[in-house]
A and B are shown apart, each in its own frame.
Chain A
Amino acid sequence: MFRNYLKITFRNLWNNKSYSFINIVGLAFGLASCIIILLYVNNELSYDKHHKKANRIARVASFIDFSGSYLELATTSAPMGPTLRNDYTEVEDMVRFRPRGEFLVRSGDVNIKESDIIFSDPSVFNVFTIPVIHGNAETALLEPYTLALSRSKALKYFGTENVVGKTLLLDDDQTFKITAVYEDMPETSHFNFEFLLSMETNADEANNGVWISNNFRTYLLLKEGTDLKAFEENFKSIKKTYIEPQLIQFTGNTLEDFQEAGNSIEYELQPLTDIHLHSDLVAEFEPNGNIKYVFLFSGLAGFILILACINFMNLSTARSVKRAKEVGIRKTLGSVRKQLVTQFFTESILLCLFSFLIALLIVELTLPFFSNLSGTNLVSNYFSNTNLILSIAGIVLVTGLLSGSYPAVMLSGFQPIKVLKGVLDKGTSRFRSLLVVFQFSVSLVVIIGLLVINKQLNFIQNQSLGFQKEQTVIIHDAYTLDTNLNVYKEELLKEPEFKSATISSYLPVSGFSMNDQTFWPKGDDPVQGNTSSTQVWRVDTDYIPTLGMEIIEGRNFSEDRGADDNTVILNEALANRFGFEEPLGEVITTFTQKPDGSFDTENLREFTVIGIVKNFHFRSLRENIAPLGLFKGTSRGNVIFKIDSQDAGAALSKLENSWKEMAPGQPFSYSFLDERFDRMYRTENRVSNLVFAFSVLIIIIACLGLFGLSAYSAEQRTKEIGIRKVLGASVSGIVSLVSKDFLKLILISFLIAAPVGYFIMQQWLKEFTYKTNIGFDVFLISGIGIVVIASITVSWQSIKAALTNPVKSLKSE
């Protein structure tokens, strides 16, 4: 009997090639995108799960609200970790990480700038699962000036794995002994260090006991069975025991005073495995994923699959007239309903398996493309994870059952005498219409989403930023030019390609220095008064003109050496915050800093306002522009050139040649300001790309379905069309007759999709402070677009039907 089903299935597929094609290919695309999304979701969800003790590890995050600026930090203070380990039995171990920027790492001739380099407590190998392949994990990082490095870096620097005992020279002046080599950290880790430097090397800071500066990423290994929330509550007492004395010492205020003035310090424990998808704090190791996008794409996958299933249902019910006869015959031969249901489910599951094989092929072919789009390295390692296999098997089965359910139930329910006489209910065609409306509504919502995302990205890119990002090249690590820095700048400015240049560590895009300090107008109280957490950017006199910022009041810094040392140029945000009506000449005050980084409350510094710069965006456009002050001074991180030439390549090679002369042996690296700017919206760009890819897919699937249905409907009506033609109907009249019904459905879909899409995208836009509006154009474009696509799809069939010679269609009856 099963063989009989198989035969029927395959012969049906073969005899109706176009239907089978639409069914199988549509379903295969649906399944393929589902699998790809599943791989992506699986990848996102697997972050940090490879650590054996992952469920007992938590990171201490700090939430600090101080003088008007609220910071959510992935870091905490240096003594936090050791204190918690010593004072609380719940804490079994802890490890702290402290990044100190990039290092030049040298071994013989190999001299490379390394960024994945960090100071770490020796307990790192106990808390995290980082397999050490050479050296002793327990003693590796105990001594100062020792380091551990990854297998691939060992190979890169020495050409061999076992390099324990050898040395590396950092920044050309510190020699580190290698004490361990560890396996490369997997990509699904929220941190990825190639070098671990012993924390002892950084002992001054690590052991300074300062609770109010937060520079250490601290991870706790909790004892088995510790309740995270309860412990979080429990260790709040450290605020009273440890932090208050320092508050009194530095600011003269008790914790209560501090809190009454509207300030607060809170700590939270983030479970390790939640960090990648749920944490978006300041000073994350790398931009994390976002659970919202995991949901978004899971949802998309679901919809794509449902759409593909709907095609299947639609086409099989459309063809049910033909199959109905078979059902009738089988029933008169003694088949019970259950057997028929089994038959149709067998058919759909078989078809689904068939599609699944094609889908696997599609996945293999397109995975590199999607890896690229999503910015994650997706691998089709289905067998690495039982959950993955189970979910894929589940999807195939559910798809088979879902797409087979309607035809199975409907067809098996036919009354044999009715179907053998050819009488069928009209109800099924209404159901088909409903499904088409659903498909196109979903497609439209996705299209609207896509248009709004693109519109917002365009809006951001064309937003008046308050500075000019075009034609600006940033030469990194300018300090390695050492005494040649100014010469380099001046020499190159003599070339015609460069209009102006400035030296500064600070740039209005992410990835460069930020420096935060508290200021208040002279005479106010530093804790209770009108204080403002302020960006302090040290710039030279060329900074404002080179970056194209605009001074709206007052003047730029004077070129004279020694002049303007105690002056400041405020941005509008800071001027407004202090409420200066006549800002020029006002004086603002701040603490000086001690060498260990803590504040010296005895000595205050004062700056006179000499100018106001028009607000410029220096963080993501998701955020408001924060208060900022430009101070005359030197910060030697980068040289920034404004290029006055169409030939950027020539300009770059000049920059590089001079660099090689003046900084021999130092790597030359540069970037363009506009590219750095775009990088801040990488997530949105990726999402936009992915949504684009999947929406094309959704539209294709929906159109395949529409194509099949219109073909069916034209076929159904060949007789009617023949008669009409004989009676004198024109071709265009017949095309519109056949197309009209479908276009009506598309219009209904539009009426459903427009408000839904509007609502969803409105929610998405809420994340941005600076946002575009969802205009009429979005709906106009999506509406016209879908009507055009659908018309082409449908008219293909209706024109074919209309052009058929009526003699043929009438004779065939």
Chain B
Amino acid sequence: MIKLRNIDRYIDKRLQRNFILKGIDLDIAEGDFVSIMGPSGAGKSTLLNIIGFLDDANEGEYYFLDEPVHSLNEKQKSEYHRSYIGFVFQAYHLIDELTVYENIEMPLLYRKVKGSQRKSMVADMLDRFNIVAKKDLFPNQLSGGQQQLVGVARALIGSPKLILADEPTGNLHSDQSKEIMETFKKLNKEDGVTIIQVTHSDEMASYGDRVINLQDGAVTENNPYEEE
């Protein structure tokens, strides 16, 4: 599904070139649950952003479903965002002015889903995450874990093939974190959704079935747990 070849991401300073990512080669198959780990500044988020089309690599090739991403234009990228990719952020990033219901509904608006169908899809999602009672509340009326649930629900409603999560549990306490990770795991196993998450925690990484360690912009260990 994802094929990265020799990806470089760097910032040019006056005298030197600072590499954030250097020579990344990576293959992720459909149905994988991958955790990207590594110390601060290793380039985890940048890698995730590149995978999510939010950032462009300076060098190298990136194929998403065999489509060369490096040659897609803005509009085509938006098309992929709508149909294939869902994002979950550490800071939730819900729209403050919209209710839970409306936040979850929003991706469907961009996919031009019809009104009645939209209603049932959102209702399903609210059901699934047990937040029906909260559908008319605004994000600031929810706890962090509830907000993140809404964030996940929003990411899922477009039935994406890929979910990108940047430290989804970073702001949550352990019970909430577990709930989110269980959700991810269930999605991965039952619906075959590909999940890539960035995390600092071994515990969270253990929900996945593959770990990629990044250090100074390079993959140091691919799948360290595989042998176990």
Contacts and interface: CB of A to CB of B under 8 A. Distances in A.
A788 interface: no
Contact of B106 (A15, A333, A420): A333
A417 interface: yes
B152 to A, nearest CB: 14
A332 B81 contact: yes
Nearest to B53: A332
Contacts of A15: 96-97
A706 to B, nearest CB: 27
A335 interface: yes
B93 A7 contact: no
Q: Choose among A4, A328, A337 the residue with the greatest number of B CB atoms under 10 Å from its CB.
A: A4
A93 B10 CA distance: 87
B113 to A, nearest CB: 11
A602 B87 CA distance: 109
A762 interface: no
Interface string A311-332: 0000000000000011011111
Nearest to A332: B87
Contacts of A496: none
A209 interface: no
A416 B109 contact: no
B93 A325 contact: yes
B97 A332 contact: no
A514 interface: no
Contacts of B98: 4, 7-8, 11
B79 A332 contact: no
Contact of B93 (A8, A335, A420): A420
B43 interface: no
Nearest to B157: A333
Contacts of B87: 332-333
B132 to A, nearest CB: 20
Contacts of A331: 78, 81
Contacts of A11: 97-98
A630 B82 CA distance: 94
B55 interface: yes
Given A4-B109, A334-B79, A337-B74, A329 B102 contact: no
A781 interface: no
A339 B89 CA distance: 23
Interface in B144-200: 154, 158
B6 interface: no
Contacts of B91: 420
Contacts of B109: 1, 4
Given A4-B109, A333-B107, A334-B111, A417 B95 contact: no
A474 B74 CA distance: 82
A333 B154 CA distance: 9
B14 interface: no
A333 B82 contact: yes
Interface in B90-120: 91, 93-98, 102, 105-107, 109-112
Contacts of B79: 334
Contacts of B217: none
A1 B110 CA distance: 8
B54 interface: yes
B215 interface: no
21 contacts: A4-B98, A4-B109, A11-B98, A15-B96, A325-B93, A325-B95, A326-B95, A328-B93, A331-B81, A332-B52, A332-B54, A333-B81, A333-B82, A333-B87, A334-B78, A334-B82, A334-B158, A336-B75, A336-B78, A417-B54, A420-B91
Interface of A: 1, 4, 7-8, 11-12, 15, 325-326, 328-337, 339, 416-417, 420
Q: Which 6 pairs of residues, A with B, have the shortest CB-CB distance?
A: A334-B82, A334-B81, A11-B97, A336-B78, A334-B110, A332-B87
